[in-house]
Chain A
Amino acid sequence: MSSPADTPQTPETTDSPRENGGNGESRANGSELVRFTNVTKRFGDVTVLDRLDFHVETGKHVTLIGPSGSGKTTILRLLMTLLTPDEGTITVDGDHLNHEERDGKLVKAGEKHVREVRKKIGMVFQQFNLFPNMKVLRNVTEAPVHVLGLSKDEAVERAKGLIELVGLSEHLDKYPSQLSGGQQQRVAIARALAMRPQVLLLDEVTSALDPELVAGVLDVLRDIAHTTDITMLCVTHEMGFARDISDCVMMFDQGRVVEFGPPDKMFSEPEHERTREFLSTVL
């Protein structure tokens, strides 16, 4: 579970000759769930992602590490469709995220298509982003009821199960502002899981927390990583956590994958100088 002994695969062949490919890694059951093909994202003059190619296999937990500004969070935000790529395509479970096929051609996807594909993806944010106008239970039931069309009873049952999983059953009837940061983040995790996404994106989920609250949130995530088959993409500075849950760690710098591999290898004997340098500053 925690020690993926498999060797990382060699970078996949890609259209872009200059790019590394991260590859979930080679467990036999893993079919490809998320794929970035030649994705470029710019903010003004700054190229945040530079012809990025990688894919993640079903059920794998991939951690993205790298210095700030290296494009890790941008990858998650592209996947969540909070941003759109300037070039390249992203597919999730075989469906294009930002494009749809019409008459054999790829065209920019309509709102409806995007919303449909988006249902496969859930995200937990650095700042929790709970809805302050809803109590804990409703934060978790609102989307299943109004987006998935679950009945109220079903949604409540599902929500209560998840809220229990994150250890907040006594707080169902509180507003987010009445909870600590760690508790809010655990509600946010339950809220994302209530949509039963195939991919869970975790965007520096402990960075905004007081140090003593970090462990509780990480424990919940460890539990989820080890007991469910959900695919995770995780941006974090908690290297211990990354080591525990990841099948694959990808090192980013300046919009490129520097290297990738199982955490044991990445943390103990990284190949690239840039990775060593970065790890020495965070470990």
Chain B
Amino acid sequence: MMTQGMFENYFLPGVWVTVQVTLFSAALAAVVALIVGTLRASRLWIVRFLSGVYFELFRGTSALILMFWLVFAVPLMFRWQFAPMYAGVLALGLTYGAYGSEVVRGALAAVPVAQREAGVALGFTRFQRLRRIELPQAWPEMVPPFNNLLIELLKGTALVSTIMVADMTYAGNLVRIGSNESAPVYTLLLVLYFVMAFVLTRGMRVLERHAKAGVGQAPPRGGLWSRLALRESAGEGSGALTAGGAAR
């Protein structure tokens, strides 16, 4: 097995780096997704066009190549050097933001036209309708696909190990080279990614439940954190309130 020192000195810091890269890229991706996704529903063709170009460009390029490009090509082309971790965060955030923009666009498009009309009838501006009516209603629809993307992103962070960011995967490789213990190291990595993905999923489930409660689709149950416990619920929460006067 791995020696204690290697685990503490390399692996644990690596886990922390993976967490950081995941959170930072997810935050960037969320912002990008929200902005680009909203702009893609704009009524101005030029805005739709430009945001569409962004979407196609970043969906169609490889996050890994983008990282290489940021780390190895940008310094030569622009005489400017990224810290590798930020290059990784940028590449992942921009790429997954493009994927996420599609989720946002779809969820916004799924808000009934009647809601827009009610907003118009009450005199809201376009931006007010977006912020107060359309996005809040689209949000519960976004959470499940965002969960998928977030887990994809978590696993995608392993790519940063190729640009010398000492994440979990990078540390695993170091430890394997040092100890020659391939089987336990890679098994441990698999398990760790799984555990992290699982925690994220539980968190997103809670978020989903709260989002649905926010549009009156299910009652909020307990606090945010109490739901992190694994209590899978057949039919729970689809209770009485949605049965009767369910939204039209």
Contacts and interface: CB of A to CB of B under 8 A. Distances in A.
Interface in B102-144: 114-115, 117-118, 120-126, 128, 132-133, 136-137
A128 interface: yes
A82 B116 CA distance: 10
B245 A129 contact: no
Q: Which 10 A-B pairs have the closest CB atoms?
A: A175-B216, A143-B122, A129-B118, A177-B216, A133-B136, A147-B123, A123-B121, A129-B114, A132-B215, A133-B215
Per DSSP, are chain A's interface residues mostly helix, strand or loop, or mixed? loop
Contact of B248 (A118, A121, A123, A208): A208
Given A121-B121, A146-B124, 20 more contacts: A80-B121, A82-B120, A115-B123, A125-B118, A127-B248, A128-B248, A133-B137, A133-B215, A143-B122, A146-B128, A147-B123, A147-B124, A148-B123, A175-B216, A177-B242, A178-B216, A179-B245, A181-B248, A192-B121, A195-B123
Interface string B225-247: 00000000000000001101111
B117 A129 contact: yes
B214 interface: yes
B217 interface: yes
Nearest to B213: A175
Interface in B181-225: 214-217
A176 interface: yes
Interface string B141-172: 00000000000000000000000000000000
Contacts of A147: 122-124, 128
A34 B210 CA distance: 45
Contacts of B123: 115, 118-119, 143, 147-148, 195
A122 B115 contact: no
A251 to B, nearest CB: 26
Contact of A176 (B122, B132, B214, B247): B247
Contacts of B136: 133
B198 to A, nearest CB: 30
6 contacts: A82-B120, A125-B118, A131-B118, A133-B133, A176-B247, A178-B241
Contacts of A195: 122-123
A41 B120 CA distance: 20
Given A125-B114, A132-B137, A177 B122 contact: no
B191 to A, nearest CB: 40
A180 B114 contact: no
Contact of B133 (A82, A131, A135, A192): A131
A142 B117 CA distance: 15
A128 B120 CA distance: 14
Interface residues of B, number: 27
A146 B130 CA distance: 13
Contacts of A127: 114, 248
A260 to B, nearest CB: 26
A184 interface: yes
Contact of A177 (B117, B121, B241): B241
A70 to B, nearest CB: 21
B122 A191 contact: yes
Contact of B217 (A130, A146, A177, A183): A177
A169 interface: no
Q: Which of B115, B122, B125, B137 has the most CB of A within 10 A?
A: B122
Interface string A176-202: 111111011000000110010000000
Contacts of A184: 245
Given A125-B114, A179-B245, A133 B214 contact: yes
A118 B124 CA distance: 10
Interface in A88-145: 111, 115, 118-119, 121-123, 125, 127-133, 135, 142-143
A167 B244 CA distance: 20
A129 B216 contact: no
A254 interface: no
Contacts of B120: 80-82, 118
A200 to B, nearest CB: 11
Contacts of B217: 132, 177
A108 to B, nearest CB: 15
Interface in A136-179: 142-143, 146-148, 174-179
Q: Which of A123, A127, A131, A195 has the most chain B CB atoms inside 10 A of its CB?
A: A131
B192 to A, nearest CB: 38
Nearest to B241: A178
B107 to A, nearest CB: 13
Contacts of A179: 245
Nearest to A129: B118
